[in-house]
Structures are given as C-alpha cells and as structure tokens.
Chains A and B, each alone.
Chain A
Amino acid sequence: MTSTIDVDAAAKTFLKHTQEQLVSYLEACVHCGSCAEACHFYVASGDPKHTPAYKLFPIAKAYRHQKFPLSWLGLAPRLAESDLKLWEELLFDTCTMCGRCTTACPMGIDIASIVGGARQAFVAAGLGPSDLLAAADSSRDHGSPLGLTAQKLRERVEWLADEHDVPIALDKAKADVLLTVSSIETMKYPESVVAMAKMLNHAGVDWTLSSKGYEATNFGYLSGKADVAKLMVERIVAAAESVGAKTVVVPECGHAFGVLRWAGANMLGRPLPFSVVHISEYMAQLKRDGRLKLKPMAESVTYHDPCQISRRGGATQDARYLLEGFAQDFREMTPTGDANWCCGGGGGVQAIGRAADLRYKVFKIKMDQVERTGAKTMVSSCSNCRLTMDESKAHWKWEGGLASLVEIVADHLIEESKPAA
C-alpha cells in the first residue's frame, strides 16, 4: 500500500464502470435495509456498517458528484480521502460478493457486481489490503498466489503421482480436457489434485494439466487489479489452445469458476474458445453418462453450496445429483442451495489477514447450521471455502468434519480395469 491516496484516480476508475446496468443499480437503492440481514458479515457482527447497501456509498457518491443534475445545489459532494479510508475495509474485508443481498433486495440490485468494480477504484487510489494485493502480484510474477511456479507444479505432480500411484497427466501435447488447479489445494490440500486425476482416469477422460496455464484462482479479479485478472485468463486460454482442449475444467474453487466462466470472455473481449465447467458439474455429467461408478458412502454428510457455483453459478443441483444414491445419509442444511450462507472467506477475504476474526464469527453461522443437521461431515466443492472453514474450525475447536466433494467421490470409485489416460 502506498502512503498517498489518489482520490481522483479512484473517482475516475469508479466512473469507468458506469455502464447502464451499474448506474441503474446505484440510482435505484431505496435504503430499505433489507440487505442487512441477508449479509453474513452483518449477521455475525451486528455492525450496521456491514449493511451491503452502505458499502456502495463511495461509488454512488463519486458518480453523483459528476452526474447528478442537482449537484450545483450542494446535494452531491465530492468523494473524499476520508471516504476511501473508511470504506476500504468494508469493500475488501466485509464482502465476499456472494450475492445473498441481491436475492433479498426488493429492487433486485446486484451489489456484488458493483463491489468488483469498486475494488478496482480503491486499488487505483493506492488502497487495498496488502496481503490480498500481494497474492495478485504473486499470481502475475510466479503464476499463482501461493508461489506455485510451473517448476513447483511439475515437482508436486511428480511427487503426488509417485506417492499415490496415480497417473497425473502434465503437458501432454494434445488433450480434450485441460484441467486447472487452485494453488490452495495444490499447496494445502494436494490430495484433491490426486482425487481429480483418479476420477478423470477412472472415467477415461483424455485430459492434461499444462505448465503454460494451470492456476484457476484469479486474485487479479478479487483484488481489483484488472490487468492481472486478464493475464490469468490469457494464460489459461493459451494453455487450452496449445493442447487443443475443448473443455477447461475448473477445480474446487468457486470464484475461480465464476471469474473464468462468466467474466473471462468479457476481460478478453471475445468468447472463450472452449467451454468452462466446474469440477462438480463435470463429475455430474460423467455420472449422467454412466462413466462414474461409485460405492455407497454410509457416513452422514451435508453439503455447503459455494456461492459462485450455486447461487451465482447455476450449478446448485449438480452436487446433489452426484451425492444422490451415493451418499446414503445426506442431510440438507437450513437454509440451503441458493439461499445458503457463505463461508465468509470468498471474494478474496480469505487472503486478508486482518479479517480473520470476522471470518471466525461468520463461521459460527455455518457451525450452527451443520449441527442442526446432525451430519458428521460437511462436504464442499470449494477449496477456498474449505480453507476458510478449516481455519475457523481450529479457532473454535469445532469437532465437525470437513471434506471435499471430489475427494469423497475419488475415495468411493469402483475401480474397474479402465486404462489410465
């Protein structure tokens, strides 16, 4: 973070995002406060500042000062340095862009869309949490936010393949499917990479990882660094084009899926030359095609819907279809599906150290939800959710189990004599 705050740069960047849709959103808020109780940060903290509508104030202020017809009456003051200082924490630490408030808003205002643009303005002003910005810089400079360089990827893949005796395809010349990874799982939950490989091999998929473009998470987008966001998308496009992949599979990471699937083409300015599917969607499709044979799982489980995959991704039913008939004791949380509570760490919040206490408080909502189901384990299909929940679980010394969807699928495959890819 620099010591000088460039308010004009923030205002200019805000105004770059004044397409019709976003301006309608800014103008239409009736300040009814209905969004507050939909937001896990407000519910966890009880602090009115965490009301989603309040988080839009600086961008609305910047816009109105420039465009409001009665600004000459003093009804639309300038954006001030103090506004940016106060709202930095609100826009970065207390919004996971989960879209729960959008569903609750009687006007249908999509606050998450505005927060994405607003973060870019804060970065232009020289603000933003240093650890989140460092994750974006590391992605640009080293290929991943957690320092997973191409060389480290090769080493880890080799180690994991040996350790688990599972072929993991890397840098094949041609493949139908390009698999990407999240550095969170590669560095902290490497069994997840093994599980994906095992599952894809089991289904006989022609797939590969590529050292040209492997990192699915996009901290450029989450931190408000548009140039890094575009670069991360370009790397995956280059990798997919080089292997001729028709499909890019995004691993268990909600925002990685959301950014590549829905924002990637808009960053590039052209449609992506492949289809993008989340691993849970892909596994569901393989099951529909009869290519996944699963043994029953007796343990009681519940499913945590990652916001960008379910509520904002449209794949709510895919995980349930996968679990159907396989998880013998599946229990839904209340609320669930598109109304599910966020883990508290999406949208880059997981990478912000100073937000840890708030994340822990948010996780109590989830702990209560799981406990009401009586399920032994909470399964998710997002390693970012998993990491957030793992840390919070340790903080509260909670005894509930956490698991990954792809890992439980891989653990219950009925292995037949299918050739490895």
Chain B
Amino acid sequence: MSLLDFARGPALEAAMAVFVFGVCWRMLSLLLLPWARDKSVARAGAPPALLGATRSFVRHLWPPRPLAPGSLFVTVNGYVFHVGLAVIVFGLAQHILFLRGLVGVHWPNLPSGVVSAAAVVTLASLLAALGRRLTNPVLKLISTFNDYFSWFVTVLPVATGLVAVSHLWAPYETLLAVHLLSVALLLIWFPFGKLMHAFLVFLTRTETGIFYSRRGAEI
C-alpha cells in the first residue's frame, strides 16, 4: 500500500469515524447533562425563547464596539480566516468531488486561482492570529496547548493543500498524501479541542440569549 493509498484509505476513514463519533459523543455527553430549570417567572412581555435565542445569535456576530473597542482586529481577522476556510473547503473542485462521493450532493466550484488566493489570505490571517496570540499579554496568559495545537492542525491542511496544488518540492502523490494526512489529523483532534466551538457556538449564544431575554434584557 502506497502512502497515498494509506492516506485516502484507512487513515481518512478512521479520522472521519473519530470525527463523527467524537462530535456526536461530545455533544450528547453535554446535552445529556442535567439541565437547570429556571423557576423564576419571566418578565411580562419577554420574547419567546426561540426569538431570544435567535436575536442573541445574530447580535453576537459582531461585538458591540462600546463594550469591546479593541476587538476589531480579532473580529475582522476571525471572519477572514473562517470565510477563507469555507471558500477552500467548499469551493475547490477536488474538495467538491470528494464531498460528493461522501454525501452525494455537489455544487459548482470556484476557479482554482480564486481558491488558491483564498488559501494564501487564510494562511496570512492565521499567522496574524498566532502572532497576536504570542505577543499580546492577555492572549499569552490565557493561551494553552489546546489553542496552539488547534491552530497547528488548522494551518497544516491549508499549507499542505497549497503546496500540493502548486506541485512544489515533491511528487504530487506524496504532497497529496501529506495533505490528506493533515486533514486526518484535523478531524481526529476536532472533537477533543477548541475546534468544537464550531458546534458549541450554537448552544452558548442561544442559551445566553434565552437567559437574558426572559429577563427582558437585550444581549
């Protein structure tokens, strides 16, 4: 079995199994914890829970400037690499082909040049995020192994993918195998590290929204 066969065969399959079961297990272990039932009486005229949850989700898309005047970089840079990652994952023809084989649906791809440009911007954005984490006194203090390793497993597929499509330094098959192995690493780490925020954000923003809205408070 070649390295490429291993990468796109057992390695990726095992990684996807860890990802799916890991995410389901993490979410279920959270959702099956006891739920605090609020016995206080909601404020008269408080919006329904669904509306409070939705409002909170939308409002947290952009931090209010009076409360977080210095968060502009974090917010804009965060959007840059999140959108960049989405463009790469869902815009590249080879990724769409792979996802079609996996889930059976497909959509038109973006030109490879656009995706490559997005990858370069994403890499720059992720490097800027790391730079800030390493130099900002607050971020230096609150950063843990989880933060740095999650950054590493996110950067790796972007960097290896960019190298692979550029056919640099090594045969394409080897570069593709390394890229697929880096994706496998990302999928395996995903349920256990802070990348889980991609799922948890739907719980935290909405639960806080319900908590505040039943008080008649806006958030």
Q: Known contacts being A100-B67, A106-B63, A261-B40, is A338 close to B211, with CB within 8 Å? A: no
Q: How far, in angstroms, from A70 to B20 measured CA to CA in the complex?
A: 17
Interface 9-residue window, one of B119-127, B134-142, B175-183: B134-142
Partner of B33, one of A20, A38, A113, A268: A20
For the complex, is B1 an interface residue (Cβ under 8 Å from A)?
no
Which residues between 68 and 101 of chain B lie within 8 Å of chain A, taking CB atoms? Answer: 68-71, 74-75, 78
B: interface residue count bin: 35 or more
Question: Do B208 and A49 touch across chains, with their CB atoms under 8 A apart?
Answer: no
Partner of B74 from A33, A68, A108 at Cβ < 8 Å? A33
Proximity string of chain A (30-68) to chain B, C-beta cutoff 8 Å, 1 when within and 0 when not: 111111111000100000110101100100000000011
Task: Indicate which residue in A30, A49, A57, A110 contacts B211 across the interface (CB closer than 8 Å).
Answer: A110
CB atoms of A51 and B78 under 8 A apart: no
Interface centre among B147, B192, B203, B208 (most CB of A within 10 A): B208
Asked whether, in the complex, the Cβ of A335 is within 8 Å of the Cβ of B66, the reply is yes
Q: Do B40 and A75 have beta carbons less than 8 Å apart? A: no
Please determine whether A107 and B139 come into contact, CB atoms closer than 8 angstroms: no
Whether the pair A33, B136 counts as a contact (CB closer than 8 A) is yes
Interface centre among A22, A105, A108, A262 (most CB of B within 10 A): A108
Q: Which of A253-281 contact B (CB under 8 A)?
A: 261-266, 268-272, 275
* A310-B219 Cα distance, complex, nearest whole Å: 11
Q: Is the CB of A105 within 8 A of B60?
A: yes
Q: A residues within 8 A CB of B206?
A: 108
Distance in Å: Cβ of A316 to nearest Cβ of chain B: 8
Q: Does A69 lie at the interface of the complex (its beta carbon under 8 Å from any beta carbon of B)?
A: yes
Interface residues of A in 283-330 (CB under 8 A from B): 310-316
Do the beta carbons of B64 and A48 come within 8 Å of each other? no
List chain B residues, Cβ under 8 A from A30: 147, 194, 197
CB <8 Å contact, B217 and A32: no
Residue of A nearest to B45 (CB): A314
B36 touches A19 (CB 8 A): yes
A24 and B78 contact, Cβ closer than 8 Å, known pairs A103-B67, A264-B40: no
Q: Closest CB-CB distance, B85 to chain A, in whole Å?
A: 14
Max chain A CB contacts within 10 Å: which of B34, B36, B71, B137?
A: B71
Establish whether residues B142 and A20, one from each chain, have CB atoms under 8 Å apart when the complex forms. no
Given contacts A49-B141, A110-B211, contact A23 B67 (CB under 8 A): no
Give the dominant DSSP class at B's interface. helix
Interface residue? B173 (CB, 8 A):
no
Do residues A19 and B35 form an inter-chain contact, with CB atoms below 8 A? yes
Interchain CB contact under 8 A, A20 and B35: yes
Partner of B142, one of A51, A262, A338: A51
A87 CB to nearest chain B CB (Å):
13
Contacts of A311 in B (CB 8 A): 217
B24 close to chain A: CB less than 8 A: no
> Is A110 within 8 A of B208, CB to CB?
yes
The answer to whether B137 touches A48, judged by C-beta atoms less than 8 angstroms apart, is yes
Output the least CB separation between A64 and chain B (Å).
10
Q: A24-B203, A31-B139, A109-B208 are in contact. Are A75 and B147 (CB under 8 A)?
A: no
- Nearest A residue to B129 by beta-carbon distance? A32
* Contact of A34 with B38 at beta-carbon distance under 8 Å, contacts A51-B141, A107-B205 already known: no
B71 to A270, Cβ gap below 8 A?
no
Does A187 sit within 8 A of B, measured CB to CB?
no
Chain B residues, Cβ within 8 Å of A31 = 139, 142-144, 147, 194
| Docked-complex contact B192 and A339, CB < 8 angstroms | no
- Chain B positions within 8 Å of A68 at CB level: 192
The answer on a CB contact under 8 Å between A21 and B67 is no
Enumerate chain B residues within 8 angstroms of A48, measured Cβ to Cβ: 137-138, 140-142
Contact A314 B215 (CB under 8 A): yes
Whether A27 contacts B43 in the complex (CB less than 8 A), given A100-B67, A335-B67, comes out as: no
Q: Provide a sorted-by-A list of 11 A–B residue pairs whose CB atoms are within 8 angstroms.
A: A19-B33, A23-B30, A24-B204, A48-B142, A67-B29, A70-B192, A104-B63, A106-B78, A109-B208, A265-B38, A266-B40
